[in-house]
Amino acid sequence: MIRLFNTHKIRKTEELSGKLWNFTPMEKGYQDKKCKVMIPGCLENLPGFGNYRGWAAYETEFEGGGNIRLEFKGVSHFAKIYVDDKNVAEHYGSYTPFAVCIKALEPGKHKLVVLVDNAFREEYALDMPNDYMSYGGISRGVVMEMIPDLYIKYVHVTPLHKNAGNWIINIEVMCENLSDEEVEADLQIELAGAVYLQKGQHFSPGENLLQIKNMEIPNAETWAPENPILYMLEAKLYGNGKILDDWIDRTGFRTVEVNEKDILLNGKPLRIKGFCRHEDHPQYGCALPAQAIAYDLQMIRDLGANSVRTSHYPNDELFLDLCDEMGILVWEENHARGIEEVRMKNPYFEPQCEQVIREMITEHYNHPSIYIWGILNECGSETEYGRICYRAQYELIRSLDSSRPATSASCKFNADICQDLPDVCSWNIYPYWYDERSAEQMARDVLTWVRTEGNGAGKPFLVSEIGAGGIYAFRDMAHDIWSEDLQAEILGKQLTELLAYEDCVGMYIWQFCDVRVSRIDWAMRRPKSRNNKGVVDEYRRPKMAYQVVKDIFHQFSDYR
């Protein structure tokens, strides 16, 4: 399953995931372990492969001819794609989609091989042993499409404002002409009952961007958590009266702005009651099927939360489709956790971050649930070199999408030199856990500094992480460390104090579920090799904190 709806009615497509592929591990000691594996899936979740690091080959076949587009929603960490033994593409980036077009393929059956490497290497600057598991494999869906010479690459819809019941929007359509000659075609867009037709458009070889400004969508409803209304968008290309190609997506109309103290959704000040969530499950690794993702989101709703932070990487589009439909607000983040200055100086780091940002924004632009873009969680924001990277990445985000704010979660108290750059100042604080101060005191101390010496005055303040560890079923009258009792007590205090703090627009709890970690030297701080700060454990069994959070969150509405 790739999306929650069909993305083409005209273009011929076939999902290559959702079935068994041949799997050949290539590392020493594993070569006799060839088998068939379900795609999508994570390498480390195959029996006997729990700690596998290195190369592996995945093979399947597809039937098709002409121009073929293969789209991979996520291959971790590095992928080399071969069609009929010819290398057609390479891609680094565990959590973002990429596609390859092969022109004029002979009709018939073709062999597809994907070589995957999940090792930690210098050239993979964003993957390292970390406080989460950096899974490997073809962890998201794969699709094969047969495309004409002129095809639609993507359509971006930007809602501008509502005018007497009508939404005013901008649309950008990116088409690619794979031939060497100019092609003439008609472009038609249908969205929420409105139709736009551009006849006799000329498309030169390569990419062509078309812009439609201030298109009016009559009687369109506004997307909001309490009314997550979505509309289908169908773009079509016609040549000589015949349909050439189509491209279907789903979107919603809403605006996001910030003022000096609030994040405004459709002009109303949001109260963020959120969870940070890793894509992680003991059985599926990061490749959770739609049912399991939906279950997580149902629990998050049950907890009274209204937002998820996709810490620390862009998520599967199935997750975003579900959030759109369920009215859950998303902070979507690029891939970088705790990367300090030395590692940021790795020459691969900045280009790879920028590539993730480009792929994330291009692919996920139309999801109304995404209200903010995040970058560089707890990276080197206290250093001059770090600042260069933060600045470059904020500039890139704004050049790709000026309709949403951007932020990054910092923990560099009193030393951060980047607070002038984001639209929202976000801080990871762990009062009563890593810090002895009360939540109210700690938030006040951080914010006072941010607004004075920190150069972050005039912006909303968001707590991007609070939390405490608790091991499932460890109950303890003394509320000792790692007990569910202590975790519940701390979360209760953190939430009550922060929700009462006027200057704070909300918080994200670290974290929804316990997750596997890959950082060996953290063993003493990560019992069971898990980050145990989930309000549910890795199997989604609620801890004591679940009810505490639920009782508090349900007392507060989605707006301030």
Q: What angle do CA 425, 431, 432 make, to 5 degrees?
A: 170
Total number of residues that touch ligand ADA (CB under 6 A): 10
Q: Which helix (H) or strand (E) holds 201?
A: strand 194-203
DSSP code of 542? Answer: B
> What is the enclosing helix (H) or strand (E) of 385?
helix 384-400
Q: Is 73 in the site for ligand ADA (CB under 6 A)?
A: no
Give least dist CB 49 to ligand ADA, A. 25
Decide: is 167 part of the binding site for ligand ADA (CB under 6 A): no
Contact 170, 214 (CB under 8 A): yes
Q: Does 335 bind ligand ADA (CB under 6 A)?
A: no
Q: What secondary structure letter does DSSP report for 222?
A: P
Nearer to ligand ADA, 366 or 426 (CB): 426
Asked if 378 touches ligand ADA (CB under 6 A), the answer is yes
Query: CA-CA distances (angstroms) from residue 492 to 296, 442, 535, 558, 560?
Result: 21, 16, 12, 19, 20
User: Computed over its alpha carbons, how large is the radius of gyration of the chain?
Assistant: 24
**In whole angstroms, how close is the CB of 539 to ligand ADA at the nearest point?**
19
Hey, which residues between 294 and 313 contact ligand ADA (CB under 6 A)?
none
* Euclidean distance between CA atoms 461 and 262, whole angstroms: 8
Q: Does 382 bind ligand ADA (CB under 6 A)?
A: no
Tell me: does residue 203 bind ligand ADA (CB under 6 A): no
Nearer to ligand ADA, 394 or 430 (CB): 430
337 binds ligand ADA (CB under 6 A): yes
Residue number, 363 or 514, with CB nearest to ligand ADA: 514
Q: Is 219 left (phi over 0), alpha (psi -120 to 50) or beta?
A: left
Interface with ligand ADA, residue 277, by CB under 6 A: no
CB of 426 to ligand ADA, least distance (A): 11
CB of 411 to ligand ADA, least distance (A): 6
Sign of the C-alpha dihedral, residues 406, 352, 415, 490?
Answer: positive
When the beta carbons of 158 and 532 are compared against ligand ADA, the nearer one is 532
HSE-up (13 A, CA, CB side) for residue 493: 18
Contacts (CB under 6 A) with ligand ADA, residues 488-517: 510
Q: Is 334 in the site for ligand ADA (CB under 6 A)?
A: no
Among 315, 428, 483, 494, binds ligand ADA (CB under 6 A): 428
Cβ–Cβ < 8 Å for 378, 410: yes
Considering only 84, 131, 325, 354, the residue that binds ligand ADA (CB under 6 A) is: 131
Residue type, 168: I
CA–CA separation, 5 and 552 (whole Å): 35
The kind and range of the H/E element at 427 are strand 424-428
Q: Per DSSP, which regions of 17-165 are E strands?
A: 19-25, 35-39, 55-72, 75-76, 78-83, 86-92, 98-117, 137-138, 142-147, 150-163
3-class DSSP assignment, residue 157: strand
Per CB under 6 A, does 333 bind ligand ADA? no
C-beta separation of 181 from 150 below 8 A: no
Report the residue from 533, 534, 538, 558 that binds ligand ADA according to the rule CB under 6 A. 533
How far is 16 from 19, CA to CA, in rounded Å? Answer: 7
Q: Which residue is nearest to ligand ADA (CB)?
A: 131
Q: Any contact of residue 519 with ligand ADA (CB under 6 A)?
A: no
Tell which positions 438-467 bind ligand ADA, by CB under 6 A: 465
Shortest distance (Å) from residue 312 CB to ligand ADA: 6
Give the shortest CB-528-to-ligand ADA separation in angstroms.
14
Residue placing its CB nearer to ligand ADA in the complex, 157 or 466: 466
Question: Least distance to ligand ADA from the beta carbon of 449, Å?
Answer: 18
**CB of 428: closest distance to ligand ADA in angstroms?**
4
Residue 422 beta carbon to ligand ADA: minimum distance, rounded to whole angstroms? 16
Q: How far is the CB of 91 from ligand ADA (least distance, A)?
A: 25
Residues that bind ligand ADA (CB under 6 A): 131, 337, 377-378, 411, 428, 465, 510, 531, 533
